[in-house]
């Protein structure tokens, strides 16, 4: 038992810490911090609460189903995709330090202000992930990535097109049986749950570490005939090894389970999506930062997702992420095919 003098101050679930106070405390650890960051994260938390409310009331308020149009990716837009996108734009639009807002649902980013006008950050997001599940009460989410508006970038390169390794914060909100906010600012991964009775996200776990291994794979196995050979070999091996399969079809929900329980989440190249289906800038990169900060791994084939040099806001990538030993098992099969 450590004595009182050797004990390090710790957050525990006995103390009640809100997301807001947690962010302020984090900022105070960085000398020279301007508080900019807490403005952005508080806007994201506000948007999350408004979206959670919409998701919860979707059937009652008649906002289920698609709007009869497709987005930039040629995918059916659900009513709630559009609503969630608008909510985020409204909640983040007046934050004076945001330069660029970019979304899965918009072909072009919205430039709110440039650096000279105080726009220090770019925020990229998937407003509603897993939205095709929305009509059935399945967990859906919001994913976000925060990048600095880099003053060193050449003028002709859009400021929001940066590798994931440059993210200063990333996270997701899962609208499931409870509303869960998972955040990293590059100092580990913390988890908050929304307490409806007080309208606040409260800290429930700090410094989350993904289990080293667990025999669970999460993949849309129905496409396996069109996966590259290495993935098929991996699945054959996993079947023989007694693995279990879990696939919800909402990245946020599948990655969240993988983070807490261990295993591996995969979206390989397929015939329909030879580069992979998931979007690098606002799906794969933020989730890769979370995995990295939790001691996991996140790869696109043999390359670290965070090291990919992006060229386009909406580019796609394949994904292998999760427990380090489970990712290694996949890679071993890719290498030997
Ligand atoms: P979104 O709803 O934002 O377009 O994301 C779709 C996703 C992702 O949540 C999930 O992992 C994947 O699409 C599922 O794709 P399949 O239906 O092809 O398995
Ligand atoms: Mn998505
Ligand atoms: Mn989406």
Selected residue with higher pLDDT from 133 and 312:
312
Instruction: Give the CATH class of 216-336.
Output: alpha beta
- Which pLDDT does position 3 carry in this prediction? 47
Helices assigned H by DSSP within the chain: 19-28, 36-56, 79-92, 229-240, 251-261, 285-293, 324-335
Average per-residue pLDDT for the chain: 91
CB-ligand 1 contact for 226 (6 Å cutoff):
no
Q: How many distinct helices (H) and strands (E) make up the chain?
A: 7, 18
CA of residue 205 to ligand 3 center, whole Å? 26
Task: Give one DSSP letter per residue of 125-148, joined into a string.
Answer: EEEEETGGGGGGT--EEEEEEEEE
Q: What's the burial of 129, exposed, middle or buried (CB within 10 Å: 0-12/13-18/19+)?
A: buried
Q: Comparing 42-46, 115-119, 295-299, which segment has the lowest mean pLDDT?
A: 115-119
- Sheet-wide strand order for 264-267: 244-245, 216-218, 264-267, 319-322, 297-300, 303-304
Name the CATH superfamily for 19-205.
Answer: Fructose-1,6-Bisphosphatase, subunit A, domain 1 (3.30.540.10)
Q: Is residue 122 classed as helix, strand or coil in its secondary structure?
A: strand
**pLDDT, tens digit, 9 for 90 and up, residues 172-230:** 999 999 999 999 999 999 999 999 999 999 999 999 999 999 999 999 999 999 999 99
CA of residue 128 to ligand 3 center, whole Å? 4
Q: Comparing 117-131, 203-217, 232-246, which segment has the lowest mean pLDDT?
A: 117-131
CB-ligand 1 contact for 218 (6 Å cutoff):
no
**pLDDT, tens digit, 9 for 90 and up, residues 276-300:** 999 999 999 999 999 999 999 999 9
CB-ligand 1 contact for 250 (6 Å cutoff):
yes
The C-alpha angle with vertex 216 and arms to 238 and 170, in degrees rounded to 5, equals: 130
- Which pLDDT does position 73 carry in this prediction? 78
Q: Where are the domains of the chain?
A: 19-205, 216-336
Which residues are 195's β-sheet partners? 200
């Amino acid at each position: 038992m450590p004595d009182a003098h050797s004990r390090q101050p710790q957050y525990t679930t006995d103390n009640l810490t809100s997301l807001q106070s947690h962010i302020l405390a984090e900022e105070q650890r960085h000398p020279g911090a301007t508080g900019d960051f807490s403005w952005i994260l508080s806007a994201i938390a506000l948007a999350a609460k408004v979206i959670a409310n919409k998701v919860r009331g979707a059937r009652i308020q008649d906002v289920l189903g698609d709007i009869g149009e497709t987005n930039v990716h040629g995918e059916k837009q659900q009513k709630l995709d559009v609503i969630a996108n608008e909510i985020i734009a409204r909640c983040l639009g007046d934050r004076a330090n945001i330069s660029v807002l970019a979304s899965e649902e918009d072909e072009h980013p919205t430039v709110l202000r440039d650096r000279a006008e105080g726009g220090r950050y770019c925020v990229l997001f998937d407003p509603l992930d897993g939205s095709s599940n929305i009509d059935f009460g399945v967990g859906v989410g919001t994913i976000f990535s925060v990048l600095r508006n880099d003053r060193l970038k050449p003028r002709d390169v859009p400021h929001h097109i940066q590798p994931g390794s440059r993210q200063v914060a990333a996270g997701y909100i899962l609208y499931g049986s409870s509303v869960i906010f998972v955040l990293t600012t590059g100092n580990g991964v913390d988890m908050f749950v929304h307490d409806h009775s007080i309208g606040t996200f409260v800290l429930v776990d700090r410094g989350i570490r993904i289990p080293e291994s667990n025999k669970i794979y999460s993949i849309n196995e129905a496409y396996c005939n069109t996966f590259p050979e290495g993935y098929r070999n991996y699945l054959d091996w996993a079947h023989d090894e007694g693995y279990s399969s879990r696939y919800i079809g909402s990245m946020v929900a599948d990655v969240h389970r993988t983070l807490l329980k261990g295993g591996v989440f995969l979206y390989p190249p397929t015939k329909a999506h030879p580069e992979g289906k998931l979007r690098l800038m606002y799906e794969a990169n933020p989730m890769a930062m979370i995995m990295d900060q939790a001691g996991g791994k996140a790869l696109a084939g043999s390359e670290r997702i965070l090291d990919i040099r992006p060229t386009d806001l909406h580019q796609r990538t394949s994904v292998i992420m999760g427990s380090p030993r489970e990712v290694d098992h996949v890679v071993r099969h890719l290498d030997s095919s």
